Amino acid sequence: MDAVFNTLTSKQKKVYTAIEKFIKLRGIPPTVREIGEMLGEKTPGAVQGILNRLEQKGVIKREIGMARSIQLVTDNSLYEDPVYIPEIKKVTKRNISDLYSIYNVNKYQPMPPMLLDSHEDCFLIKCPDSSLEKISYEDILVVSRKYELDDGDIVLVLYNNHALLRYYYENDDPDRITLKADDDLLGKDEFLKSEATIVGKLLCKYTRF
């Protein structure tokens, strides 16, 4: 790989190095726009052209149609392959049984596998509710539909066709669940299991600064 790297032009080496630094700092690959911002290149087409040549020379590889799919190819790679998680638009009564329909998926986003015990049946969604103090509308949530719940876990709940965030607690009544919020506009924290559906358990969030 060192021999191939030495054949790169100075611009190609700059782009490769920028990608490498971004992955080390953020844990995910950069987009074309982010590469351009790092290098002061305002024309996305110019960056795309360099990426095409890097791919032809075998030092990177990409997935078609995915924004953050750049992977560095090395003889002894330090990078884990990302896992791709569907970013969905919303949760409603009409789509809860088919959240990953092509009509409800914005795109598949790359995620560092170290953040997830298992990425099977996980999805991303923009925060739909501000009832919990430590989560805001600007956050992106990672939710698992395969879960075991303990008291105090944060869950995404569908109630009256609204997606809500709540702290889960087991209820002594087997037909009810306790769902608490820091800012509870509903005025209740006990719900019949037939009226409130737990969509999934919150694993982590991404916050934009």
The pLDDT tens digits for 142-167 are 999 988 899 999 999 999 999 999 99
- Residue 1: pLDDT over 60: no
Q: Report the percentage of the chain scoring pLDDT > 70.
A: 92
Q: Is the pLDDT of residue 179 over 90?
A: yes
So what's the pLDDT on residue 118?
Answer: 64
Residues forming CATH 1.10.10.10 domain(s) in the chain: 2-72
Can you give the pLDDT at residue 187?
85
Query: Which of 148-171 are b and which e, b meaning 16 or more Cβ less than 10 Å from the residue's Cβ?
Result: eeeeeebbbbbeeeebbbbbbbee
**Which residues are CB-contacts of 16 (< 8 A; sequence separation ≥ 6)?**
5, 8, 54, 59, 60, 72
CATH architecture of residue range(s) 2-72: Orthogonal Bundle (1.10)
Average pLDDT over residues 4-15: 83
pLDDT confidence of residue 80 = 64
Q: For 84-206, CATH number? A: 2.10.109.10
Q: What is the DSSP letter of 67?
A: T
Query: What confidence category does residue 90 fall into, taking pLDDT thresholds of 50, 70 and 90?
Result: very high
pLDDT surpassing 60 at residue 72:
yes
Q: What pTM, to 2 d.p., does this model score?
A: 0.64
Q: Give the three-class secondary structure for 77.
A: coil
Does the structure show a pLDDT above 80 at 17?
Answer: yes
Q: Is the model's pLDDT at 4 over the cut of 70?
A: no
Round the average pLDDT of the chain to a whole number and report it: 87
Contacts of residue 57, defined as CB under 8 A and 6 or more positions apart, other chains included, come to 4, 7, 8, 12
**pLDDT above 60 for 43:** yes
